[in-house]
Amino acid sequence: MNPAKKTVLLLALCQAIAMTDSIILFTTAALIGSSLATDKSLATLPLAILQLATMLTTIPAAFILQQWGRKLGFMIGVLIGLMGASLAVYAIFTSSFVLFSGATLLYGIFNGFVGYYRFTAADVATEAFRSRAISFVIAGGIIAALIGSPLAIWTKDWLPVTFAGGFVAIALLQILTLLILSQIDLPPASRQKQQEVGRSLGAIAQQPVFVVAVLGSMIGYGVMALLMTATPLTMVALHHPFPTAASVLQWHVLGMFTPSLFTGYLIARFGVLTIILTGIGFNGLCIAINLAGTTAPHFFVALLLLGIGWNLMFIGSTTLLTKAYAPAERAKTQATHDFLMFSFVAFTTFLSGRLLNEWGWAIVNYTGLALIGIALIALLYLRQHHYEQLLGTSK
């Protein structure tokens, strides 16, 4: 097998394992928090800490990966995740809410490294293979979507204390990730590359390509978080059974990752801007269906379309970002991109509940519509000024 393709395949496996871990954690963490916290309103605090830690880790993780090499950097991240999973088991056994929150903080730091699997795939791939390399790594989420929730259920009673077994499973999967990383050929950065600086971040950020890539990722991910967070709350409030709401989310996750099998080919065939535009269109259809009705089929179709829209916008924007920097500028550009994206996701996740509680389901969707309108305007501006030739894409 071609070395670059082998590296992409192994990175996709690492991504699949990391996302499986996350599904186990997100399925159980609020329930664990509720059982450990004296104040039940703090049940979701461990997850909030995780998101904050992920956001704050994106920048230092990028520079660790640049200075120490991606292979060693990823292993450091996994070891921190392993420590977090182990601490979670101990916290559950000792009924310590504080320690469990510390465990999710450590896992959030690990998550800050995971986002760079896709960038690493892009960096090792040839220009022609780059969009598909990113797509294949994201496709690792298909495996997580299929096995994450069943694994959380299966491991629930592994140990005498409920849910502790899930974090044992996460720890074992982290060890498996270390073994996979040991087989990846990612040479450490040369001293010359470490000393290269490139343009200032301000100069990079002034490029229309950078602006559109960041807006595409921020809005694509942010709208997904906005609507996905509000959907189960809305369904339960409308007296849809909880299993139905859970099934809607499972189909949403499959919609997020299954298109990754061919998104890269579509980018190569039709151009990255066209694919981002198509993702905006899928988000628009999702919102239209949400506003048209609140039956179970409405939610199923809308959330499936939302997942597909996220996939096209996220992979397309990640591919577009690679056009905005030279090798020496890689770390700071990627770090800035992910920091802005995860910051906006944290904001829209918080905003979702507030809008739903104070203004209702329709306003949540109209807010999402306004956001994708901003992405649409930015994208059309880029197309109008004929950047396709510069980007190697087609209209």
pLDDT digits (tens, 9 = 90+) for 367-381: 999 999 999 999 998
Percent of the chain with pLDDT over 90: 40
Structural domains in the chain, CATH included, are: 1-195 (1.20.1250.20), 202-395 (1.20.1250.20)
Q: Which of 268, 263, 229 shows the shortest CA–CA distance to 249?
A: 229
Entry field: residues in the chain: 395
Q: What is the mean pLDDT of the chain?
A: 85
List, for residues 288-346, the tens digit of each pLDDT value. Answer: 999 999 999 999 999 999 999 999 999 999 889 988 888 788 778 888 898 899 888 87
- Do 10 and 184 touch, CB atoms closer than 8 A? yes
- Summarize the chain as % helix, strand, coil (round to 5): 85, 0, 15
- Band (pLDDT 50/70/90 cuts) for residue 78 is very high
180-196 mean pLDDT = 68
347 is written with which tokens?
A: 């904001």
d(CA 88, CA 23): 15
Q: Which of 270, 208, 218, 209 shows the shortest CA–CA distance to 375?
A: 218
Helix (H) or strand (E) holding 391: helix 388-391
The structure's pTM equals 0.76
Backbone angles phi, psi at 206, to 5 degrees: -80, -10
More confident residue, 323 or 26: 323
123-127-133 Cα angle (round to 5): 60
Is the confidence at residue 392, as pLDDT, over 60? no
Q: DSSP labels for 344-359? A: HHHHHHHHHHHHHHHT
d(CA 311, CA 139): 10
- Band (pLDDT 50/70/90 cuts) for residue 275 is very high
